[in-house]
Amino acid sequence: MLYFSKLRIIFISLISLFFIIIATSNFFKFESDLLSKKINLGLDLQGGSYLLLEIDNSPVIEQKLQNLTVTLRSYYKEKNIRLSNFKISNKKLSFSVDDQFKELILEEFADENSNINPYYPRFKSHQLNIDEVNNILNISFSKQGIIELKTSSQDQALEIVRRRIDEIGTNEPNILKRGNDRILVELPGLDDPMRIKSLLGKTANLTFRFVTNTNSDSFGAENLKFEDSDEVATVSKRIILSGDNLLDAQPRMNSETNETVVSFTLDRVGAKRFGKATSTGIGKQLAIVLDGKIISAPVIRDTIASGSGQISGGFTFQSATDLALLLRSGALPAPLNIIEERTVGPDLGKDSIKAGILALIIGFTFVIVFILLKYKIFGIITNLALIINLFLLVGILTIFEATLTLPGIAGIILTVGMAVDANVLIFERIKEELKNEKNNLIAFDSGYSKSRTAIFDANITTLLAAIILFFMGSGPIKGFSLTLGVGIFTTLFSVYFIARLMTVIYVSKNKDKEGIIK
């Protein structure tokens, strides 16, 4: 019925006023927390950087196989079974064993309930393949094992990338998975892309190891270069400490030497290991190795039992800040390679905003003029409802502090068209009703009622498409589907509450007027 109670009129008025005020907060400053919310501009509108990162899982596979080597040695040593000639090549672990034990090992790897599990908790029979070639046993990851490993690496890398970017304080970063070995990073408003690339490109695998003068170290040794020179040192492969033992790292100014250092604090286990290593290694050099390069190699003068220390290496304050950030956020499980990079300048973003707003104004103007000429007084009602509809849409996006992109502006423009389409359907239906019904109130009520099914069907199918686009699409597509989806709800509200309320007020005062709509 064409009737609105006073309570409903007050409700509609308050809802409309509330969202109009929220929408205007994007243009004015308010002290309230609610009114301080604003719509964030996306990468294509305010400029910034777009990076597509690919995870190199080869080192992860090799590391897992190395861990498995230690596990197998320990496990079968207790069974008095000697394994020898361990070799990792082409993502396979190969080793030799006496013929009498081969069948036992093959059966244990095939049995998921094997006693090997306590020694290697992450081992599952479906993750590894084992076969025999020329009396040599070969272990490799199965297809499913590779997929699970990639998924795990991607989840870890995603979290660490997010930590590093959050530490810098970048506004509204967009960090998403792509496939099972890629990560998309969108950084709106970024003014220093080189620093981000440098931070994301470092694995930040930190280890503390003793410098040795011989290659006959029982744990093995390797030659590593210093980060800031071509000098080479022979470093033991035995890891005293790793970045996993760090609780915190901060840049500091050393008051004695007046140089910038990175101070670190260790957890309980790390402090105990560090204290033991420094007490037995007085006079030795302790190499601090980051991503395969020696940052510094100080000589141990005394036992360090406090669980804290300093890393020096000729840092600037910026480089010390970045190193501390990397250490706090943790090491990446695998190296990240930048395979695609795009930078949008702020000037281009401003041009996009101007173009989008111009398109919205032109489209909106043509729609208003057409509706006004076509439906006269009801055209004015439609146009007022259309303007309020835009305020509702912008207000809702503001409350959720949504990110507006260029496709999002396209979604707003499409919302305008859909809102007009609904009103056109209603008014044309009312015209049909007036041909058979002389009572204006009944004709208008029938017009709204009988057009409801067509309007709801059209909007629901569009809403379903928007939902699918939101969950299946990428960043820009999500922006379009979000504004379109919200626009559908605001359109239905403006058509069946705001426009209908104004229509009721006018028709009630002119219920006996002939040719009320043409």
Residue 483 has pLDDT above 50, yes or no: yes
pLDDT at 444: 86
Nearest partner of 386 among 353, 420, 352, 359, judged by Cα: 420
What does the alpha-carbon distance between residue 507 and residue 4 come to, in Å, rounded to a whole number? 13
Residue 6 has pLDDT above 80, yes or no: yes
Residue 163 has pLDDT above 60, yes or no: yes
Residue 118 has pLDDT above 50, yes or no: no
Which whole number is the average pLDDT over 418-442? 86
pLDDT at 187: 82
Opening angle at CA 478, ends 184 and 28, nearest 5: 105
What does the alpha-carbon distance between residue 41 and residue 479 come to, in Å, rounded to a whole number? 11
Top mean pLDDT of 6-10, 43-47, 163-167 is at: 6-10
What's this model's pTM, rounded to 2 decimal places? 0.62
Q: Which of 173-177, 350-354, 412-416 has the lowest mean pLDDT?
A: 350-354
Average pLDDT, the chain: 82
pLDDT at 490: 94
CATH number of 206-339: 3.30.1360.200
Which whole number is the average pLDDT over 445-471? 90
pLDDT at 359: 80
Residue 506 has pLDDT above 70, yes or no: yes
Number of helices and strands in the chain (H, E):
14, 19
Residue 115 has pLDDT above 60, yes or no: no
Residues of the chain above pLDDT 70, percent: 91
Q: Are 105 and 137 in contact (CB under 8 A)?
A: yes
Q: Is 281 exposed, middle or buried (0-12, 13-18, 19+ CB in 10 A)?
A: middle
Residue 131 has pLDDT above 70, yes or no: yes
What tokens were used for 308?
């804290």
Write the secondary structure of 13-77 as one string of H (helix), E (strand) and C (coil). Answer: HHHHHHHHHHHHCCCCCCCCCHHHCCCEECHHHHCEEEEEEEECCHHHHHHHHHHHHHHHHHHHH
Q: Quick one: CATH architecture of 6-46+346-509? A: Up-down Bundle (1.20)
Residue 52 has pLDDT above 70, yes or no: yes
What strands lie across the sheet with 182-188, from one edge to the other? 174-178, 182-188, 48-55, 336-344
Opening angle at CA 254, ends 251 and 255, nearest 5: 140
Q: Which residue has the tokens 């590391």?
A: 63
Top mean pLDDT of 205-219, 225-239, 446-460 is at: 446-460
Residues 6 or more apart in contact with residue 120 via CB below 8 angstroms: 67, 68, 71, 75
pLDDT in tens, 294-337: 888 888 888 888 888 888 777 888 888 888 888 888 778 888 88
Q: Which of 24-38, 284-298, 325-339, 420-434 has the lowest mean pLDDT?
A: 24-38
pLDDT at 384: 92
| Bridge partners for 111 per DSSP | none
Q: For the chain, which residues make up each domain, given as ranges?
A: 6-46+346-509, 58-146, 206-339
Which whole number is the average pLDDT over 149-174? 82
Q: Where are the alpha helices (DSSP H) in 316-405?
A: 317-329, 346-375, 377-399
Q: Is 408 exposed, middle or buried (0-12, 13-18, 19+ CB in 10 A)?
A: buried
pLDDT at 119: 42
pLDDT in tens, 244-295: 888 888 888 887 778 888 888 888 888 888 888 888 888 888 888 888 888 8
Which whole number is the average pLDDT over 195-209? 82
pLDDT at 117: 45
pLDDT in tens, 87-106: 888 888 898 888 888 888 88
Taking CA atoms, 76 is separated from 104, 106, 116, 366, 377, in Å, by 11, 13, 9, 81, 90
